[in-house]
Structure 1
Amino acid sequence: MNPLFELNAVGVRYGKVQALKACGLRIEAGERVALVGSNGSGKSTLLRTLHGLVRPSSGSLQVDAAARQAMLFQHPYMLRASAQTNVALGLWLKGVAWKDAKVQALRALERVGLLALAQRNAKALSGGQQQRLALARAWALRPDVLLLDEPTASLDPAAKREVEALMAEFAEAGMTLIFSSHNLGQVKRLASRVIYLEQGHLLADLPTRDFFNGPLPPEAEHFVKGELV
C-alpha cells in the first residue's frame, strides 16, 4: 500500500528562517505518531506541511489524496455561535445539506460528551470543552488522518484526560493520529512512534519503546531527561 505521507528532503523556509531542513519521512495508515522537540524545533511547521497549509520550499511531498484529513490547532478558532452550529458549519461547507448537518453535528457532540451543551455559545465554553468541541468538529468530517498541534497544552489535568481518552478512542477505531506534544507521559500513552525534531532537523524516528529506552542522539537524550543544552 502507498503511504499516507512521504517526504523526501523537504525544507520549509519563512523568509530568512529555515523551519525544516531536508526532512525525510514516511507515515503509514493506522500509525500514532508523536512529534516532540523544544519550541521552535519545527513540529508545528511539519504538521502544517503535512496538512497542506505550508508548501515545501525544497524537496518533495507525496500525500495520499484519497485520505481525508482534519487538523486540530492548539487554540482552535470558535465561531460566536452555538456548539452545534460550529460543528454543522464544517459539514455544510463540505456539501452536507444544512438540515442533515445539524443532525450529524448533534451526533458528533454526543460522541465527545457535549450534547447537553449543544446550544451553548462556543466562546462561553471552558478551554477543555472547546478542545472537545474542536475534536467533534473534526470527527464529524470522518477523517482518515487527524493532525493535532499540542492538543492539551493549555488544559487542566481533568480536561487533558478527557481529550487524551478521545484521541485514544479515535485511534482504536482506525484513525491515523499525528500530534505534537511537550508532555512525554502523553506521548508514552498515545504514540506508537516518536519523531524528535531539533532546529528543523529530524534527528530521531523510533518506536515509542525504543525512544524512551535509548540509545538516542545526544540532543534527544537531553530533551528526554529535561536538560537544557
Structure 2
Amino acid sequence: MSKLETDSLTKAIGGELIVDSISLRVKESTVLAIIGPSGAGKSSFLRLLNRLDEPTDGSVYLDGTDYREIDPQELRRHVGFISQESALLPGSVRENVAMSDRIRDKPINEQRVTRLLDRMHLPGYENRAVSDLSGGERQRVSIARTLYVEPEVLLLDEPTAHLDTATEMEIEELLAELIHNNDLTCVIVTHDTAQARRLGDRVVRFEAGKITANGTPEEIIG
C-alpha cells in the first residue's frame, strides 16, 4: 500500500521546470532515498510533499487522499520535515521541542518532551538554552521537535550535511533506530550515496528535475 504518492508533480520558477512531472509511490513503513547532483530538484521536490511549497501542477496523495483536502497545518502534523539547518528558536530545549503546542496555545506534554529527549540521548536537557548546544545536539532537538507531533511520514533534507563525521554517523544511527521503532514512512534527500545505501529501501536518482533511475540500493548504487 502506498502511504505517499505523487502524480505528475511539477514545480516551475520563472518558466524553468525545477520539478518535472514526477509520479512516484512510497510504500508504508519504507525509506525512499533521493540522490542526484546539486540543482537536480531533490530538495524542491521534498518541500512539495507537505506543502512547504506549492506545486505548479500535479498533486500529492497521503493514504489516497489528495493533500489539498487536508488543512496545511494538519498535513504537517502527519508529514514532518527535518532540514539540514536545525532552525531552532531562541529559548530552552523544552520550548523548542514542544513548539507545536506553544503555537496553538496548548499545555506542553511534559512527559512526551522528556521521553523524546531520552530517546535522542539528551536526558535532562529540558531547560538548557539551545544557544549552548553543539551542532549535533541542535539537530537532535530538531528531530525531537518533529517527532513531538507524532507524524506518520518523515521528510529529511540532508539531515547530516553540516556535521562532522562522528556526529553524522551518530545522527544517522539514531534516525535508523527511530524509523524502525516507529514504523515511519520516510523520504530522505542525501548527497551521500553510502548513506542512501545504508538507510534506503528504495533509491531514486534525480537529474534536471526528472527521475532517471528508481530501484533498490543495489540496483542504483551498486
- What TM-score does the superposition give when structure 2 sets the normalisation length? 0.88
Which position in structure 2 is the counterpart of 1:225? none
Instruction: Determine the C-alpha separation between the residues in 2 that align with 1:47 and 1:132.
Output: 20
Which position in structure 2 is the counterpart of 1:112? 120
Within 5 Å, give how 1:86-165 maps onto structure 2. 86-93=96-103, 96-98=106-108, 101-165=109-173
Unaligned runs of 5+ in 2: 66-74
Which position in structure 1 is the counterpart of 2:176? 168
Contact 2:193 2:221 in 1 (8 A): no
Which position in structure 2 is the counterpart of 1:24? 23
Which position in structure 2 is the counterpart of 1:187? 196
Which position in structure 2 is the counterpart of 1:79? 89
Moved over 4 A (4+): none
Question: 2:69 matched to 1:70?
Answer: no
Instruction: Determine the C-alpha separation between the residues in 1 that align with 2:60 and 2:99.
Output: 30
Percent of residue pairs identical: 31
State the 1:94 CA deviation.
5.8
Contact 1:145 1:176 in 2 (8 A): yes
Contact 1:197 1:204 in 2 (8 A): yes
Report which stretch shifted further, 89-98 or 6-15: 89-98
State the 1:28 CA deviation.
1.4
Contact 1:79 1:123 in 2 (8 A): no
Contact 1:74 1:149 in 2 (8 A): yes
Which amino acid letter does the alignment assign opposite residue 44 of structure 1? S
Report the 3-state secondary structure (helix = DSSP H, G, I; strand = E; otherwise coil) of the residue aligned with 1:116. Answer: coil
Instruction: Determine the C-alpha separation between the residues in 2 that align with 1:47 and 1:4.
Output: 15
Deviations 1:92-111 (A, max 9, x none): 4467523xx23321221111
The structure whose Rg is larger is 1
Change (3 A) 1:176 1:94: farther
Instruction: Determine the C-alpha separation between the residues in 1 that align with 2:195 and 2:99.
Output: 31
Which position in structure 2 is the counterpart of 1:8? 7
Deviations 1:132-168 (A, max 9, x none): 1111111222111110100000001121112111111
Deviations 1:17-74 (A, max 9, x none): 3110111111111111111011110111111111221222122322235882110011
CA RMSD after TM alignment: 1.8
Deviations 1:157-184 (A, max 9, x none): 1211121111111221211111111111
Report which stretch shifted further, 190-199 or 87-96: 87-96
Report which stretch shifted further, 118-127 or 54-63: 54-63
Contact 1:5 1:63 in 2 (8 A): yes
Unaligned runs of 5+ in 1: 214-229
